[in-house]
Structure 1
């Protein structure tokens, strides 16, 4: 998780193949390994860190599409999808 001038950013997926998963609550997309290493930055209460079962139970490999936002405060897409206040 990076902090750039008061804005906190989630990890960027390290690959874009079949190992990507999405958090069931906030829809953050990362690889299985990233969820296992650091959990979900938006949903720390899921406690996925170092827990295979929690990662499998709280994420899904079934999702369509992905969005990347540079400036959530000014992005109409972030406002439309209501993701402006979450880690992106």
Structure 2
């Protein structure tokens, strides 16, 4: 049995908005290869830096947060959930 987890599991209540938000993000990345690559690069860099520093998942998440927020902004504007500009 592996000591380190190989994935993070997110569990949400049935009425949570998070699953819809995650689907918007997933669909955006599937349709926009540049953002998909940017997200991949941010994840890899955040993981390498957090692992090298002996940090936990919260620090890893903080390292990639700016890229994620930028991508969510574009995806939410395109979905009509935020005003453009």
Q: With structure 2 as the length reference, what TM-score do the two structures score?
A: 0.26
- Structure ranking higher in strand proportion: 1
